[in-house]
Structure 1
Amino acid sequence: MPMLEWIGKDKVINHHQEIPFRILKYRYGFDNGKESKEKTESENKIIHGDNLEALKSLLPEYEGKVKCIYIDPPYNTGKENWIYNDNVNHPKIKKWLGGVVEKEGIDLSRHDKWLCMMYPRLKLLQKLLKENGVIFISIDDNEEANLKLICDEIFGSNNFVSKLVWRTEGHSDNQFHIKVNHEYILTYVKNRNFIDSAIGHAIDPTTREESNIWKGYAENSITKNGKKNPPSFIDLPVGFPCLERNVKIEKSTISDDFYIEVNDQKFISKEIRNKYNLNNKMPVKLNDLIVSNYKLEEKCTVYSGWANANKLKDFIDNGFKPLKEKDGEITFYLSKNGVIYYKKTREKARNILSVITEMGTTEQMKTELERMEIKKFDYPKPNKLIEYLLKIGAPNSEDIILDSFAGSGTTGHAVLNLNQEDGGKRKFILIELEEYADTVTAKRIKKVITGYGKGKSFIKGIKSNFNFYELGERLFTPDNILNKNIDEETLRNYIYYTETGEQLVKEQVTKNKYYLGSKNNSDYYFYYDSDKITKLNYEFLLTIDKPSEQYIIYADACSIDKNELLEKNIIFKKIPRDITQL
């Protein structure tokens, strides 16, 4: 697999591990159309802060739990005024800090800066995805090739699904000799082994209205005569189903020369069908075909080339009962012309095309934002586009959706629209670095919840809520000491996550208040008090009233001999030395 190299790559490959872990500081909740100091029960989150640090803060609660990620990062056109701000310990990279990234030809390191910015964020996004998760990344020609290579490296080239092309109606860059009217959406799954559940049963909205895809079934004749379809005889037994109540078709009158010619050519060609006047009369019937009360009354042998012949035989062997498959049921029947049809019914169809059209325009979305009293926000993605992507990537009602370049909040808006459409309870997490996280991103979601517009154009609100956060203090001080300002619950959640990779679930199984939880026959204890030194001693051991095969106990100090700890299957971990730093 080709690997991309750039200035600073060796310093950013593991930069996501060097980022200090910060807590999320609750600022306000929004419920019933108003802000509240009290946290709502909502699982929807809007986070103001650097998305690299915010993504890391999400790990204890969300690693491996996000079903769908959509991001719309800077396209690196030289017009976006984005600034490189990652404090990587490298002389060349430090020189980039705080500087606006310029156009091609002016800023010779613009691609290096962009790659250094994207790489650690993508690493964290990959960790947050569920095993059947999907990520969509919008991009254009400026960085598409580079993005594809680093995504192949991070997500695995085998997990690449598609480079969707979105035709951006209504806007084209007229500066180029060839007008650009498209963007890309790179699509990856976390694990290709789960691709069937990763990709939802979405239908491209440009699919013809009369298509059977909308009806929930596929239907076609199984008569197929081509070079890859050698003909064979199939016996249709008594009772074979028919779409018509009564049918009578006389057997085909045909000479033996027909079979000789077919045997020579190995298939029933168009020329042979013309010669023997068989067009619109296939398959050849060796007996009269007689149907009464929707069922074949007498056995009839038919001859043709086939599609799905083996499944037809399985259907016959199954007593004409539908064949169950993981994505639907298959039945066969005769038409009024004696043609055998295949019909596959399914709860949900899938017709996703690689070129996406008729999804609205950024100009239309900008006008929509102005109706929400949000102005001067250029090129917001249209709701319809993101809703369509969510139907692909987050089809289930409880899915979690993440957007770490939230901008105007289109992803959150799309989640609420989709929930209203299908009654789902999807949750969104929006992260926005800029100061407008509250005045634009959150404001838009508030408007969607309360309703917006005037008079006849008023858009009714969608019942929902969210909590607004900012990045808070570091868990560890620069001296690697636990921050005493961090609440105990946050510390306990962090410790349990770093030990088990799972979120802490409160359970009343012991009176010991320092007990965290149990996994793989090991019990975890976090014996910590911000106001005093804690010591693992015999007195503490007497407070443990829950038996376990092994005990992992955190404390500031330990007065029990190592050999005795070993005998009692106790692993002592010193605070803060032995606490894993994410």
Structure 2
Amino acid sequence: MPEKLDLQSPDLVSQNIEKLAALFPNCVTETADGKQIDFDLLRQELSHKVVEGTKERYRLEWPGKKEAIVTANIPTTKTLRPVREDSVDFDNTENLYIEGDNLEVLKLLQESYLGKIKMIYIDPPYNTGKDFVYKDNFAKDAKEELITSGQKDEYNQRLVVNPETAGRYHSDWLSMMYPRLKLARNLLTADGIVVISIDEKEVHNLRKLCDEIYGEKNFAGEIIWKNSSKNDQDYISIQHEYIVCYVRDKGVNKGAWLEKKEGLDEIYKAFDGFRREHGEDWSAIHQEALEWYKQFPESNPIKASKHYNWMDQKGVYFASDISGPNHGQYVYDLLHPITKEVCKPPASGWRYPQKTMEERVKNNLVHFADDHNTIPNNKTYLSDTEFQSLTSIRFKDGRVASKNLTKLFGENLFTNPKDPDLLYDLMKSFGLGGNDIVLDFFSGSGTTAEALMKLNYETGSNCSYILVQIPEDLNETLKTATGGSKATISRAIQYLLKQNKPTKITELAKQRIRLCSVNYLTNNDTAIGFRVYKQDSSNMHEVYYRPQDYVQTKLELFADNVKPDRTADDLLAQVMLDWGLPLSLKIEQLTIAGKQVFKVAANSLYACFETGIDEAFAREIAKDQPLRIVFRDNGFKDDTAKTNVRQLLKQLSPDTEMKVI
């Protein structure tokens, strides 16, 4: 039916609520009068300080929630410093590996990757009572935070055990997750997807948390991953984990997610063998197929497809119902092609009109029994039904992933790693391809990178990843580890020591990515390289941000805004982040008028951090017509040159935007 006219003036209040909901979905709540804006929460989103509120409402609440909101909104002056020696093909690759606190890193990526990430996958701490969680430092005064944010990173103080006996066991986990998921939402494309692995301890809270941040209507489903056969728990033995999926906007991502049914290759292979053995004897092929299916257990995907037990010249098929959905649908005589007698009809009549049925018989799309006393069937070919909607149950034996990693590293390091094939299957089903970007900010040992490399290798896509991981010291983790986890961490430490690497999980992940890349070499080598960045304090002295706090006599101590230990590479990364340019852009190094110049993404950005910049240099660089150019504030030959360079660029390259640091 055509859509009806409203025949009324616009409901401006509802429109305003929808606009606010698009910006702040967590501020939408339910009242007796329907959907409303939670003004207390909205005030909190617009404040750097805790805002008190007393109204009761339907929402997820916990001690520390307001602090978590403020934590997400407080800006940071930290930066990311490139580590070329740990990278592979630094200047050309689009993959990023970032070592640092993921909360700070997510803040740093807000401008450069706003609306650019197609898929976010994370496997956060499960809150078992033994895993480490981030203990974020909340500063009630934003000014205080700006002062302290330039300090050295306190990595060893950020990861703390969250025991079940703690008074804020669930609350601390929620306070850790909330700001990270909130910041991550900003990075998703309009059709983006967020996928989170979790166990039974926090899955209920995670769902409520994501309902608030991403919107309940954008819940895409929950996958149950059967990954264990253990039976070592009282009451009900938990043998599965959960994979919670949300989309950025269901209005854009329609969820046409398909997966190939498991076991199909084995079925095709078996039937090809039956046909070689029996030729055109379809009855013999059918009988052998029935016997072949008996060897599989009920849980095997091939067993679930056992009705595909027929074959003809067009391929493998199963005999499906040909009766009409309604009683007396179509009634007519259908002759058996061999006996020429009228076939027994379905009780409810035929599914198709007579003319359509005759066409199907002519095209050999109807399965007849040996005689006319058995109701004919449709032929449903396996090749036409290879794909199905993404299903909510996954069977993946963790031992397979463990064996593959043992083969990769040359020794047994992991007892129950995440399965890259499971991630690969999901990425493929979600339709990732082209130049899509995947973000994992709890990246652990680098499973996401391996899965994406496989996707690029198998499909010819050029997807890239951003992995973020705090450089957790495994020796510290070992102090509280028990059982299998303790043995796993000990093996990892010994492996890294043999490789003369620091005993940090980030070193293990980088090594894994290097080893995996050998298996996925293609014509596009940039798909397997990666740029390493480390989070650090700003490249700039504190006076750069708060000159009002320093008396004039002390300002002379900071004639150069830049800290003495920072390189041109460091400055370029901070400039790219500040200008909102992705760190994955191609970087070239040129020499112009005798000075080193960084050229980013053709003429998107030129950066020169050397001294002695003058009018002659400006004339040379203006020939390339860069869109942006940046210099050090003290890099000019003198104050006159600084003014003249700016004027020359306006004259010779009017579209160039010039800035200094």
Please, what TM-score do these two structures have when normalized by structure 1?
Answer: 0.63
Q: Is the 8 A contact 1:203 1:352 kept in 2?
A: no
Residues 1:248 and 1:382: Cα distance change in structure 2 (over 3 Å): same
Distance 2:352 2:545 in 1: 86
1:365 and 2:421 are equivalent in the alignment: no
Per-residue CA deviation, residues 482-506 of structure 1 (Å, 9 max, x unaligned), is 96357664455345439xxx99854
Residues 1:373 and 1:474: Cα distance change in structure 2 (over 3 Å): farther
Residues 1:233 and 1:89: Cα distance change in structure 2 (over 3 Å): same
Q: Is the 8 A contact 2:322 2:376 kept in 1?
A: no
Residues 1:346 and 1:286: Cα distance change in structure 2 (over 3 Å): closer
1:107 and 2:166 are equivalent in the alignment: yes
1:493 and 2:493 are equivalent in the alignment: no
Per-residue CA deviation, residues 276-315 of structure 1 (Å, 9 max, x unaligned), is x74378329998999599769xxxxxxxxxxxxxxxxxxx
Q: Which residue of 2 aligns with 1:88?
A: 138
Q: Is the 8 A contact 1:44 1:427 kept in 2?
A: yes
Deviation at 1:127, TM superposition (A): 1.7
Deviation at 1:479, TM superposition (A): 4.6
Distance 1:217 1:65 in 2: 43
Deviation at 1:207, TM superposition (A): 4.5
Structure 1 SS opposite 2:651 = coil
1:176 and 2:234 are equivalent in the alignment: yes
Per-residue CA deviation, residues 377-400 of structure 1 (Å, 9 max, x unaligned), is 453212332222222335325332
1:466 and 2:530 are equivalent in the alignment: yes
Q: Which residue of 2 aligns with 1:396?
A: 433
Q: Matches of residues 128-143 of structure 1 in structure 2 within 5 Å?
A: 128-143=187-202
Deviation at 1:151, TM superposition (A): 0.7
Distance 1:542 1:99 in 2: 50
Deviation at 1:17, TM superposition (A): 3.2
Structure 1 SS opposite 2:251 = helix
Structure 1 SS opposite 2:134 = coil
Q: Matches of residues 319-358 of structure 1 in structure 2 within 5 Å?
A: 349-357=387-395
Deviation at 1:116, TM superposition (A): 1.3
Q: Is the 8 A contact 1:283 1:339 kept in 2?
A: no
Distance 2:622 2:133 in 1: 49
Distance 1:217 1:192 in 2: 35
Q: Which residue of 2 aligns with 1:59?
A: 110
Residues 1:170 and 1:151: Cα distance change in structure 2 (over 3 Å): same
Q: Is the 8 A contact 1:251 1:288 kept in 2?
A: no
Q: Is the 8 A contact 1:134 1:198 kept in 2?
A: no
Q: Which residue of 1 aligns with 2:176?
A: 117
Any unmatched runs of 5+ in structure 1?
A: 236-241, 253-276, 297-331, 452-459, 518-523, 557-574, 576-582
Q: Is the 8 A contact 1:136 1:186 kept in 2?
A: yes
Q: Which residue of 1 aligns with 2:66?
A: 10
Q: Which residue of 2 aligns with 1:271?
A: none
Aligned partner of 1:51: which letter? N
Distance 1:384 1:111 in 2: 31
Per-residue CA deviation, residues 314-343 of structure 1 (Å, 9 max, x unaligned), is xxxxxxxxxxxxxxxxxx977768878899
Q: Which residue of 2 aligns with 1:149?
A: 208
> Among residues 350, 353, 360, which one is paired with 1:283 in the alignment?
350
1:69 and 2:120 are equivalent in the alignment: yes
Q: Which residue of 2 aligns with 1:161?
A: 220
Structure 2 SS opposite 1:100 = strand
Residues 1:391 and 1:334: Cα distance change in structure 2 (over 3 Å): same
Q: Is the 8 A contact 2:122 2:197 kept in 1?
A: yes
Q: Matches of residues 133-532 of structure 1 in structure 2 within 5 Å?
A: 133-172=192-231, 174-196=232-254, 199-203=257-261, 207-208=301-302, 209=305, 223-225=323-325, 229=326, 278-279=345-346, 282-283=349-350, 349-357=387-395, 359-361=396-398, 363-371=399-407, 372-373=409-410, 377=414, 379-433=416-470, 434-435=472-473, 436-450=504-518, 464-474=528-538, 477-479=541-543, 481=545, 484=562, 485=566, 489-490=572-573, 493-497=576-580, 506-507=602-603, 512=622, 517=627, 529-531=633-635
Deviation at 1:376, TM superposition (A): 5.3
Q: Is the 8 A contact 2:444 2:506 kept in 1?
A: no
Residues 1:189 and 1:222: Cα distance change in structure 2 (over 3 Å): farther
Distance 2:352 2:514 in 1: 68
Structure whose residues are more often strand by fraction:
1
Q: Is the 8 A contact 2:124 2:197 kept in 1?
A: yes
Q: Which residue of 2 aligns with 1:39?
A: 90
> Among residues 71, 74, 78, which one is paired with 2:129 in the alignment?
78
Structure whose residues are more often helix by fraction:
2
Distance 2:137 2:336 in 1: 77
Structure 1 SS opposite 2:82 = strand
Deviation at 1:12, TM superposition (A): 1.6
Residues 1:79 and 1:278: Cα distance change in structure 2 (over 3 Å): same
Residues 1:350 and 1:398: Cα distance change in structure 2 (over 3 Å): farther
Aligned partner of 2:193: which letter? V
Residues 1:340 and 1:529: Cα distance change in structure 2 (over 3 Å): same
Query: How many residues align structurally?
Result: 455
Residues 1:512 and 1:393: Cα distance change in structure 2 (over 3 Å): same
Per-residue CA deviation, residues 188-233 of structure 1 (Å, 9 max, x unaligned), is 1111123336735454566445678xx99999656433xxx47566
Q: Is the 8 A contact 2:112 2:577 kept in 1?
A: no
Q: Is the 8 A contact 1:251 1:289 kept in 2?
A: no
Q: Which residue of 1 aligns with 2:185?
A: 126
Q: Is the 8 A contact 1:245 1:291 kept in 2?
A: no
Q: Is the 8 A contact 2:319 2:377 kept in 1?
A: no
Distance 1:513 1:490 in 2: 24
Structure 2 SS opposite 1:380 = coil
Aligned partner of 1:18: which letter? I
Deviation at 1:345, TM superposition (A): 8.4
Aligned partner of 1:85: which letter? K
Distance 1:90 1:160 in 2: 33
Please, what TM-score do these two structures have when normalized by structure 2?
Answer: 0.57
Distance 2:257 2:201 in 1: 28
Distance 1:282 1:293 in 2: 16
Aligned partner of 2:580: which letter? Y
Structure 1 SS opposite 2:467 = strand
Residues 1:425 and 1:529: Cα distance change in structure 2 (over 3 Å): same
Q: Which residue of 1 aligns with 2:297?
A: none
Deviation at 1:118, TM superposition (A): 0.8
Question: What's the % identity of the aligned pairs?
Answer: 26
Residues 1:177 and 1:291: Cα distance change in structure 2 (over 3 Å): closer
Aligned partner of 2:215: which letter? G
Distance 2:652 2:236 in 1: 73
Structure 1 SS opposite 2:388 = coil
Deviation at 1:141, TM superposition (A): 1.7
Any unmatched runs of 5+ in structure 2?
A: 1-28, 30-57, 149-155, 264-299, 309-314, 369-374, 474-503, 547-560, 587-599, 606-618
Residues 1:488 and 1:475: Cα distance change in structure 2 (over 3 Å): closer
Distance 1:75 1:193 in 2: 31
Distance 1:508 1:398 in 2: 19
Residues 1:3 and 1:476: Cα distance change in structure 2 (over 3 Å): farther
Aligned partner of 1:48: which letter? E
Distance 1:467 1:350 in 2: 37
